[in-house]
Amino acid sequence: MSLIGDGFLTIFSFVFLISIVVVIHELGHYWAGRFCGVHAEAFSMGFGPTLFSWRDKRGTVWRVAALPLGGYVKFLGDAGAASEPDADKLAQLRAQMGEAADRCYHFKPIWQRAFITAAGPIANFILAITIFAALSLTLGNRELQPVVGAVVADSPADNAGIRVGDRVVAIDGREVRAFNDIMRIVISGGTSELAVDIERDGTLIPLQIVAARNTVEDEFGGTRRLPQLGIQAFSDPVVGGVEPGSPAALAGFEPGDRIASLDGVPVASFQQFSQLVVAADGAVPVEIERGGQAMTLTVSPRETPDGATNVSPAYARLGLVSGGRLIEYRRYNPIEAVGYGISQTGAVVSTTVDYVTNIITGRASPELLNGPLGIATAAGQVAQRSIEGHSSAFDAARALLVNLINLAGVLSVGLGLVNLLPIPILDGGHLVYYGYEAVARRPLSMQAQALGFRVGLVFVLGLMLVATWNDLNYLLGQIF
Catalytic residues: 26
Backbone phi and psi for residue 225, each to the nearest 5 degrees, phi listed first: -95, 115
**57-93 burial: b if 16+ Cβ within 10 Å, else e:** eeebeebbbeebbbbbbbbbbbeeebbbbeeeebeeb
| Gap between the Cα atoms of 194 and 208, Å rounded | 6
CB atoms within 10 A of CB 347: 19
| Gap between the Cα atoms of 63 and 49, Å rounded | 10
- Which residues lie closer than 8 Å to 100 by C-beta, 6 or more apart? none
Burial class (CB within 10 angstroms; exposed 0-12, middle 13-18, buried 19+) of 341 = buried
- Which residues lie closer than 8 Å to 48 by C-beta, 6 or more apart? 65, 66, 67
Name the packing angle between helices 446-479 and 427-440 (round to 10°).
160
**181-218 burial: b if 16+ Cβ within 10 Å, else e:** bbbbbbbbbbbbebebbbbeeeeeeebebbbbeeeeee
CA 437 from chain centre, in angstroms, equals 36
- Which residues lie closer than 8 Å to 192 by C-beta, 6 or more apart? 210, 358, 363, 364
**111-145 burial: b if 16+ Cβ within 10 Å, else e:** ebbbbbbbbbbbbbbbbbbbbbbebbbeeebeebb
- Enumerate the β-bridge partners of residue 198: 168, 205
CA dist list (Å): 449 to 82, 84, 153: 12, 8, 56
| Gap between the Cα atoms of 199 and 147, Å rounded | 9
Residue 175: its H or E element: strand 174-175
| Gap between the Cα atoms of 5 and 46, Å rounded | 24
CB atoms within 10 A of CB 158: 15
- Which residues lie closer than 8 Å to 151 by C-beta, 6 or more apart? 157, 158, 162, 163, 164, 230, 231
